[in-house]
Structure 1
Amino acid sequence: MKNKNNRSICSAEYVRINGIDQFLFHLGTRFDNPVMLFLHGGPGSVESLFTGIFQDRWEEIYTVVHWDQRGAGKTLTRNPDKLPTIELMLQDLFEVIQYLKKEYNKKKIVIFGHSWGSVLGSIFIKKHPEEVEYYIGAGQVVSMVENEQVAYNKVKETIEQLGDKKSLKKLKSIGEYPGSKIVFDKEFLRKCTIVRKLQDKYKLGVEIGIDIWMAMFKSPIFKFSDIIAFMKIFKVNSKVHSFLGDFNLRTESKEYKVPVYYILGERDWQAPCVIAEDYFKDIKAPNKEIFVIPDAGHFLMMDQTDLVFDALSAINKKESGYPIATIANPLFL
């Protein structure tokens, strides 16, 4: 595997985790840096293939470890019949952390959860706060039902303001959306597809340009089997989707025993920033800060690479003992 930046830490491996071989990708510059475990989105959408777009500067202050979760990426390719449930994934996560603590001689690990990873991470830090130094939620999911309600209302408002009668008719044709509960069946997916296409039309959706796909092909760990794995993720993650449809952080205690940081894209309407901001106001944690990244969507790390790094740098300094007043960062709210 090529070590493009001549990192002192650059390795890809399969580790026996919870009875199956699971894929880990390590990148970093110093063994004494905090270890950050990156929890990718989806379920099933690995982000280990896109590190070249956004992660180079992260590796100066963290050792970043990407884990292709059960039912995703290279772990799915190696274990096509070992399908995930939320219980299995939480146990997998616990064992990955034990491995990393031993490998890097750390007492605790930093968790960075993006999108679906923010669901998994938020549940885990409630169950096992003793394992986590602090938690960073990016594109933080609070409630799936609320996400879809707010996203629908935003695109409807935009269409009405622009007088697009054809799109409004199409939107109204789906009827009530998403309903009081999300069930990932064919009817919901049909409605969701219409909403997503209209979001894309008005730049309210997830924007994936050609540069992102090129970065994937150039990744030192890319294989064509990764594309095949991606095509299977919806089917193999059906039990996790069932859990996700009911997910709502608001029904849980808002007290956290670890520091909690959110980094949000101001124009994220996939996991709407406004929902996470509202929820964050009420949580209690040893330390907490929220960063809202201007002109960034759901893939905020790729949209505004420098500003997201600035947020991570401020968090890193704060958790390293720097007084908050000495950290010059206009993104603190």
Structure 2
Amino acid sequence: MKNTRLINVEEYAPINGINQYLYHLGTSYDNPVMLFLHGGPGSAESLFTRVFQGKWEDIYTVVHWDQRGTGKTLIRNPDKLPTIDLVLQDLFEVIQHLKKKYNKQKIVLIGHSWGSVLGSVFIRKYPEEIAYYIGVAQVIDMLENERVGYNKVKELIEQAGDIKSMKKLESIGEYPGNRVLFNKEFLKKVEVVRKLQGKYGIGIKLDLSTWITVFKSPIFKFSDIIAFMKIFRANAKLHEFLGDFNLRTDDANYEVPIYYILGDNDWQAPYVIAQRYFEEIEAPNKGIFIIPNAGHMTMMEQPDLFFNALLEINKIEEIMI
């Protein structure tokens, strides 16, 4: 039987000089606290909780944070825009706030897409704050991501003998080039690649029922749409950082347990790259879960299989503690 939701709180917490939005959901104060780092940069996933999160709350208190430059935090602080250093400091302070609020020594960190970049950098800097880290649609190397994702869709187009799509792909010229720069020219190319990835079923899948769930979310406001439209302007500095991001510039030694949950149909942050990198990881404990028939929005596309992976991780870590 599903537990009653005991924890259901929205708050603007004073974090690093500004009030930042946190959304807490859970069924027991005894459960570990999991902080969810959304994608983007700038794509709040606090609005999607009803799509994938119900069962999670039986084993975790899940906290969504609209990062600086994102969602409700952006609407409240339109001129307080992020850099990587500011967001890392914000994250540190959010964790202190949660540790104090729930009387916990450490927090579980889960990062999705851009959140996996932020999470991976953070756990190197502050390993003592984190019980364990879960990377979803884990980004390893941004340039390789785009190369591999482009080559995959090209391969599928060739196999299908789809001349029209091949012409569209060839029209963008060399991709991604020697460096990922999120300028207008590159974004136009990305749009073509993403549309073709979508056509061949390897892009982001967000169907109408998902969006209806978002609009019915108890925390949804019209201003959330306005915030979403400001993503690139508000997060320009983070996109700069993301474009050059490569986890391999450092060794693969971590001081916290590392778990990856990857969709075997994710070619936006291609799972094969993270799978390869995972083999190199040295950590107190590690585990990898490849979810069948799931793409970049892994937890939304296969919520039950995703939850099974979380259950297993939770059990392993309980034993380790």
TM-score, with normalisation over the residues of structure 2?
0.98
Q: Counterparts of 1:257 and 1:244 in 2: how far apart (Å)? A: 23
Q: Are 2:166 and 1:168 equivalent residues in the alignment?
A: yes
Match of 1:247 among 240, 245, 248: 245
Q: Deviations over 1:58-97 (max 9, x none)?
A: 0000000000000001000000000000000000000000
Structure 2 unaligned runs (5+)?
A: none
Give the Å deviation of 1:187: 1.1
Give the Å deviation of 1:170: 1.7
Q: Are 2:89 and 1:97 equivalent residues in the alignment?
A: no
Match of 1:27 among 10, 25, 28: 25
Q: Counterparts of 1:261 and 1:204 in 2: how far apart (Å)? A: 23
Q: What is the aligned partner in structure 2 of residue 46 from structure 1?
A: 44
Q: Counterparts of 1:113 and 1:278 in 2: how far apart (Å)? A: 19
Match of 1:211 among 186, 209, 212: 209
Q: Counterparts of 2:320 and 2:122 in 1: how far apart (Å)? A: 27
Dislocated runs of 4+, deviation >6 Å? none
Q: Deviations over 1:267-315 (max 9, x none)?
A: 0011011010011000100000000000001111111010000000000
The amino acid that maps onto 1:89 is V
Q: What is the aligned partner in structure 1 of residue 186 from structure 2?
A: 188
Q: How does 1:1-16 map to 2 (within 5 A)?
A: 6-16=4-14
Q: What is the aligned partner in structure 2 of residue 198 from structure 1?
A: 196
Q: Counterparts of 2:211 and 2:164 in 1: how far apart (Å)? A: 32
Number of residues of Structure 1 aligned to a counterpart in Structure 2: 319
* Equivalent position SS for 2:176: coil
Q: How does 1:133-144 map to 2 (within 5 A)?
A: 133-144=131-142
Q: How does 1:66-105 map to 2 (within 5 A)?
A: 66-105=64-103
Q: Counterparts of 2:118 and 2:174 in 1: how far apart (Å)? A: 28
The amino acid that maps onto 1:48 is S
* Equivalent position SS for 1:101: helix
Q: Counterparts of 2:111 and 2:59 in 1: how far apart (Å)? A: 17
Q: What is the aligned partner in structure 1 of residue 115 from structure 2?
A: 117
Q: Deviations over 1:29-54 (max 9, x none)?
A: 11011000000000010110111111
Percentage of matched positions with identical amino acids: 68
Alpha carbons 2:261, 2:306 under 8 Å: kept? yes
Q: What is the aligned partner in structure 2 of residue 147 from structure 1?
A: 145
Q: Deviations over 1:162-210 (max 9, x none)?
A: 1111211221121211011111111111111111111111111101100
Q: How does 1:284-295 map to 2 (within 5 A)?
A: 284-295=282-293
Q: Is the alpha carbon distance of 1:317 and 1:6 closer, same or farther for their aligned partners in structure 2, counting shifts above 3 Å?
A: closer
The amino acid that maps onto 1:224 is F
Q: Are 2:163 and 1:159 equivalent residues in the alignment?
A: no
Structure 1 unaligned runs (5+)?
A: 324-333
Give the Å deviation of 1:322: 7.0
Q: Counterparts of 2:39 and 2:182 in 1: how far apart (Å)? A: 17
* Equivalent position SS for 1:121: helix
Q: Counterparts of 2:37 and 2:7 in 1: how far apart (Å)? A: 19
